[in-house]
Structure 1
Amino acid sequence: MSSFTIKDLARKLSVSPSTVSRALSDHPDISSATKRKVVEAAEKYHYQPNQLAQSLQKKRSNTIGVIVPEIRHHFFSNVISGIEEVAYEHGYIIMVCQSNETLSREIINTQALVSNQVAGLLIAISSETTNSEHLSAVIHHNVPLVQFDRVVEELDTSKVVIDDYRAAYGAVTHLVESGYRRIAHLAGQDGIALNRHRFEGYRDAMRDHGLVVDEKYHLHGGYREEDGRAGAEEYLAMDVLPEAILAINDPVAVGLFTRFKEAGLRIPKDVALVGFSDTPAAALIEPALTTVYQPAFEMGRTAVALLLKQFEAGKDFTPETVTLETELLVRGSSAVRVRS
């Protein structure tokens, strides 16, 4: 994103900043020749107007912007349903964008929604979002913002999350109590708080049960089924296969499942699997997938409720974090291990 400002353009053209501003907005008091010079300079130096600042001069609408990593992900589609239900009840409509797991698209979506004068923003960050300057700008310009599921912990906003550490700890404890010892973790990309907390839960559960955390079994990937298949390839190439794997989410677990099946492995006899989310696919595969149930619909409802609360509070608003309960749904993919 260009950092070239109106003042910089004005200096280059030896005119006042107000002249540049009026020329860019096609003001009738500015000559055609001057407008042409300003526009050409703006293109030459890649100047982009500050849409966040401009939007503050306009009245915001009854639209709430929502940004999710992927709409096709069953978890996020459920979150969106929860958001829409509560928003509609209070006279708001929602405008949904997906970042497609990229920071650049997330930034574009954020700017587009704010430039359309949304009343506020709800966001689950992309897997690439380790730089949150675009969200800091939203907060700086007093646009209400609530984060959910995947959040930037350092940002002073309301948040709706689960206890990822506790959920992962419980999932690994279940695997240990079911007789598994060489337990792997196929994580998401490094640098995201959710991934860090789930890894810490995995690590501490292993250590608390007297088991060694073997670094070669801790892999990083994405959040899609193809990332699970890629992770499975890495595990299959190892001399000793892990006995069980905690996946970052259900799509990744399903990717592991299908690739292992193709390789002739038996689930859970050769390798047990546990996911996160409780997507429909988790219960449809055979054996069914053990997974951590996350209340997606309720997460959406809670996120928009916190945003509405911020609307009402105005300058007296104090950010709050709501942690929703999860449940480990034990199914066939992590059945008790029978050792020979």
Structure 2
Amino acid sequence: MIMRQVTVKDIANKLNLHYTTVSKALSDHPDISADTKQRILTVAKELDYHPNSIAKSLKKQETSTIGLIVPSIKNDFFSAVISGIEEVAYGRGFNTVVCQSNENSEREAIHVGTMISNRVAGVLVSVAQTTKSGAHFKALGKQGIPLVFFDRVCDDIEADKVVVDDYDGAVQAVRHLIRSGYKRIAHLAGPKNTSIGRDRCRGYMDELQRNGIPIDHEMITYGGLEEDNGVAALRELLSRGRKPEAVFAVNDPVALGAYKEIKRNGLRIPQDVALIGFGNITLSYYLDPPLTTVSQFPYELGRAAAGMLLRRIENPGREMTPAIEVIKTELILRKSA
């Protein structure tokens, strides 16, 4: 048998009271006597009553829910970011609702509409890799809902942003490879329309040039951000007939795909091909050899993004210029490079 949710009217009927009396008591209204309040609270507990937060938000025109849109929660990075966000939000009396775009811009736009319909207090977003325009995010501004981008951002939308120093992280990785004696360094780049793809590729190219190594576009492949993209990218590089001495991947999932393809071809890491990722996901430590990578401190990034959004929510009438906070990266040296 399907049970329906207990309402204020159920409590009122049990006590033979008007539902407005029960509603006031549950809101601790001074018009209701202490004795009546206690009777109502006792019955509410007996019936396992839970207040309807959506109805309350409609009445008050405010809510204590933050919307969060991420590309995927199966990625270690976003799981850690969510943990940081929820820690800060919970401490300030806010709940979080998480939606996955699954790297699909159309699905992302649908989630934005859902956030507006549910009158969330604010929205945090890391954009899908297929998102080429931030047009669908403009609806949030029209509804007065604060927006903060984190990690992957939209350059065409004026909003607060918390980002990783993707450029410097790439520079650190490539600099380490060059100092280790590698010159033919390939890059498995991300989508050109993503901020992380562009900035990490730019860091790779600039560091090569700073060290007098000409950019060889045959050593660069552009693709997605998943493991299978790494497999395909490494396969494409090897098919060009010039094996790279080292590979810098746009992120750890892509590096993991490259790792598998390198091994499948009977090559050794790092003796035949050195490899560096970006992200420091948990699995990177357990590979054999362990993956050298760039840590981007996702938990701290999440905390910073939540703090930035809550400042907007808690100061609704205050004019504030869109801010950008940059989280520094750290090169984690292991055995793959």
Scaled by the length of structure 2, the TM-score of the pair is: 0.81
Q: Does 1:110 align with 2:112?
A: yes
Q: Which amino acid aligns with 1:253?
A: A
5+ long unaligned stretches in structure 1 = 1-54, 335-340
In structure 1, give the amino acid aligned to 2:242. V
User: 1:270 — aligned with what?
Assistant: 272
* 1: CA distance, partners of 2:82 / 2:107: 19
Deviation at 1:56, TM superposition (A): 9.9
Specify every segment of 5 or more residues in structure 2 that has no aligned partner in the other structure, as ranges.
1-56
Deviation at 1:191, TM superposition (A): 1.4
User: Any residues of structure 2 matched to 1:142-291 within 5 Å, and which?
Assistant: 142-291=144-293
2:87 to 85, 99, 107: 85
Contact 1:58 1:117 (8 Å CA) reproduced: no
- State the distance in 2 between where 1:159 and 1:58 align: 29
Q: Tell me if the contact between 2:168 and 2:329 (Cα under 8 Å) persists in the aligned partners.
A: no
d(CA) in 2 for partners of 1:72, 1:317: 37
Is 1:322 aligned to residue 313 of structure 2?
no
Percent identity reads: 45
Paired residue for 1:292? 294
Partner SS, residue 228 of structure 2: helix
SS of the residue 1:258 aligns to: helix
SS of alignment partner, residue 131 of structure 1: coil
User: What CA distance in whole angstroms lies between the structure 2 residues aligned with 1:324 and 1:56?
Assistant: 37
CA–CA distance in 1 between the matches of 2:291 and 2:122? 37
CA RMSD of aligned residues (A): 1.5
- Which residue of structure 2 aligns with residue 66 of structure 1? 68
Letter in 2 for 1:276: F
Structure 2 residue aligned with 1:4: none
1:333 has 2:336 as partner: yes
Mean Cα displacement is larger for which, 58-67 or 184-193? 58-67
**Structure 1 CA distance, aligned partners of 2:286 and 2:232?**
22
- Cα deviation, 1:61-111, whole Å, max 9, x if unaligned, reads 211000000110000000001111111111111000010011011001111
**Deviations, residues 11-44 of structure 1 (Å, cap 9, x unaligned):** xxxxxxxxxxxxxxxxxxxxxxxxxxxxxxxxxx
Q: How far apart are the structure 1 equivalents of 2:60 and 2:197? A: 38
- TM-score, normalised to structure 1, is 0.80
Contact 1:224 1:251 in 2 (8 A): yes
1:58 to 1:91, Cα distance in 2 relative to 1, 3 A = closer
Specify the code of the residue in structure 2 equivalent to 1:216: E
